[in-house]
Structure 1
């Protein structure tokens, strides 16, 4: 039996704490939902911020909600060159020893000492999917992308949670390298 799942490209984005939302957008401010994301309870907000590094800036970075307990920006390696930083490739939430920068909103700015990463490629799996695939949280697998520029992704982290929906996430650079489209079906091969 083939082990197939959908893939999606993740563009640069930022997760903010409630404290940082208020500093950037105003006291008592709440994020406004633009659209739901594939993972239950997660959404793209209408709000955007700029991220400033030592050599440049990224304008109009989408804020994702809901608020998190740590501010974290997920960018591509090329975005890092533009900012003048070297974001480590990390699992979401692992921001230790990562670079920081200035976050600029319409009502203020925040300097973060860490929190800018390039997210590791990963698969979100519901507990039922993990059981069906014979996997557990924090396993690493290989995933084959078909097509004219097809390739196999190594070192894909499996993240299992009862609140997840089955989907693999890669950043835009990785997706563009193999010509993948959102929702395309890929195969877990090892």
Structure 2
């Protein structure tokens, strides 16, 4: 039979290990999202004469990829050449910019979830085969976290929940209002735009900690 001081040591070690395991479970990798565009199949055909994009590199989410193809996007004040496309094609064309990008282009765009484009700002998009004007195409992506249903269950969250994330480092801090978004094949990943990442000193591949409320 273990002596009392040995039992106490075992209990303390066990608590420490369990606490660290729980802390590791709450750590989610960061994906810093630079400006990019998603095209509908119809608009891809107009701009490139293609029916599918070419894979440049895979990203963390299994069904998504950065494409070889790029476009130019223009607002009243400026143009961004060689804006990377993300595949595969979407139901609607959308351009995701940071707030700083929108100011540079002279576009008033809402902070909203992907695909919520009723109030999105206007944008001109040009490819090698043509040019289109999208009246409701520009958005600033709301903070969100991708994950699968099993990850959400393990973390005690559900689709469309709002959570907070703690970031470490010299300029770290806590950001609120991250939207939990679920899809069967998604893996856990925090999405921040470049404005948010730069303010926190966070880079792609860093980690944030989900704060349980």
TM-score (norm 1): 0.96
C-alpha separation between the residues in 2 aligned to 1:173 and 1:100? 21
SS in 2 for 1:81: helix
Larger Rg: 2
For the 8 Å contact 1:58–1:79, the answer to whether it is kept is no
Q: Confirm whether residue 187 of structure 1 aligns to residue 209 of structure 2.
A: yes
Aligned length, in residue pairs: 189
Unaligned runs of 5+ in 1: none
The aligned counterpart of 1:143 is: 165
2:111 to 86, 89, 93: 89
The aligned counterpart of 2:88 is: 66
For the 8 Å contact 2:44–2:51, the answer to whether it is kept is yes
Query: Please, what is the CA RMSD of the aligned residues?
Result: 1.0
For the 8 Å contact 1:138–1:159, the answer to whether it is kept is yes
C-alpha separation between the residues in 1 aligned to 2:123 and 2:205? 33
The aligned counterpart of 1:19 is: 42
Q: Which has the higher helix share?
A: 2
TM-score (norm 2): 0.86
Q: Confirm whether residue 56 of structure 1 aligns to residue 78 of structure 2.
A: yes
For the 8 Å contact 2:32–2:193, the answer to whether it is kept is yes
Deviations 1:20-58 (A, max 9, x none): 0011012x4421100011111100001100111112111
The structure with higher relative contact order (CA 8 Å, sep 6+) is: 1
SS in 2 for 1:136: coil
Unaligned runs of 5+ in 2: 1-21
Mean Cα deviation higher: 179-188 or 10-19 = 179-188
